[in-house]
Chain A
Amino acid sequence: MTRIAAAAILAASLVLAVAADAQQAPPARVAAPVIKIEKGEACVAPADEMRRNHMKMLLHQRDRTMRQGLREPQHSLKGCVECHASRDTGSVLGKEGFCSSCHEYTAVKIDCFQCHTPLRQAPAAARRP
């Protein structure tokens, strides 16, 4: 009998604890990244694969372009920037930038943009006055 009572008390306290958690969840210490997909169409691979492997794709493409002169558009950094740059700032960097917001969250430093431009190129029509 005492055992059943103890079990009941434990269960009740657990329920209470869960309810308390739900009411006042501690604020996240790091703000979640903002993932803003500017272009609605599909990327070059499914999102899961892109999240896990985009750096490998860029690394391989980088060597192919640099060393062999293969400029396939599929995995080019220029292509990433063209699609994913913010339509407001024109950049993949910045507070809500497509690259920078996740990279800040995960604390992975990227140095692509020390040399490469993070800015989307103006469309050909807009360039002409």
Chain B
Amino acid sequence: MSPERRQFLAWGAAAAAGSALAPGLRLVELAQARSPEEAASKLQRWGLLIDITKCGGCDDCVTACHAENGVSGHGRPETDAQWIRKLSVRDKRTGYAQALPLMCQHCEHPPCVDVCPTGASFKRDDGIVLVDKHTCIGCRYCVLACPYGARSFIHEAVSGQKADVPRGKGTVESCTLCVHRVDRGETPACVEACNRDGGKAMAFGDLNDAASAIHRRLKSEASGQIRADLALNTGVRYQGL
């Protein structure tokens, strides 16, 4: 099915769902926490908005992410898992330097999903791109396909995992947008840490919900995607890049 036709059907479904409910009673609730019995919905699309001008020198987002998800390395940076990293970019001509956090961009058309031979790499209905480690065979096609270098392969046996974040040898993993927290109605750990201890550069929300702060900011302020030329329609947007 082409993306246009898919979008058209999604609008149709959204219109049908909207018309079935009483006026003034819809979509706002969908931004709240779902009950455990309610499946992730296509009406939502979770995303991040990161204002790089506010992103300072700290790496609180990285620390918080790795603490929340139990991502620990073996002191070997070349092969250790990395769900989020701080990137330094510098304009070669002017010398203007910036720093930004980079993680899985949760694309609408994710290349990692296209190349996965087992269907382990998939996009959930609410736009979160995940790896189903039950079916991941560790071929690492997705690691190569991802233009953002967001995926890591786990080379060594893992112990001390968090109950909500299973991790194991021989599978690929990446930022899950803290899906276990999102399902509880919380924000991802990086966003929470950034707004608590960091530069308040990160915002999380439903890109589809017209009432959400992130939707309003994207509508009224300039923002961009990394490698927008690839037309992947990322869920993570940047300001000041």
Contacts and interface: CB of A to CB of B under 8 A. Distances in A.
Interface of B: 34, 36-40, 122, 124-126, 130, 132-134, 157-158, 160-164, 166-169, 171, 179, 183
A117 B160 contact: yes
Contacts of A70: 36-39
Contacts of B125: 68-69
A62 interface: yes
What secondary structure prevails in chain B residues at the interface with A?
loop
Contacts of B122: 67
Nearest to A121: B163
Contacts, number: 52
Given A69-B124, A70-B36, A73-B36, A115 B130 contact: no
Contacts of A54: none
Given A72-B36, A114-B168, A115-B171, A67 B163 contact: no
Contacts of B164: 78
Given A81-B163, A116-B163, 14 more contacts: A66-B132, A67-B124, A68-B40, A68-B124, A68-B125, A69-B34, A69-B126, A70-B36, A70-B37, A70-B39, A71-B36, A73-B36, A115-B167, A117-B161
Contacts of B183: 69, 71
A68 B39 contact: yes
27 contacts: A62-B134, A63-B134, A66-B130, A66-B132, A67-B122, A67-B124, A68-B39, A68-B125, A69-B34, A69-B39, A69-B40, A69-B124, A69-B126, A72-B36, A73-B36, A78-B163, A78-B164, A81-B163, A114-B157, A114-B169, A115-B161, A115-B166, A116-B163, A117-B160, A117-B162, A117-B163, A121-B163
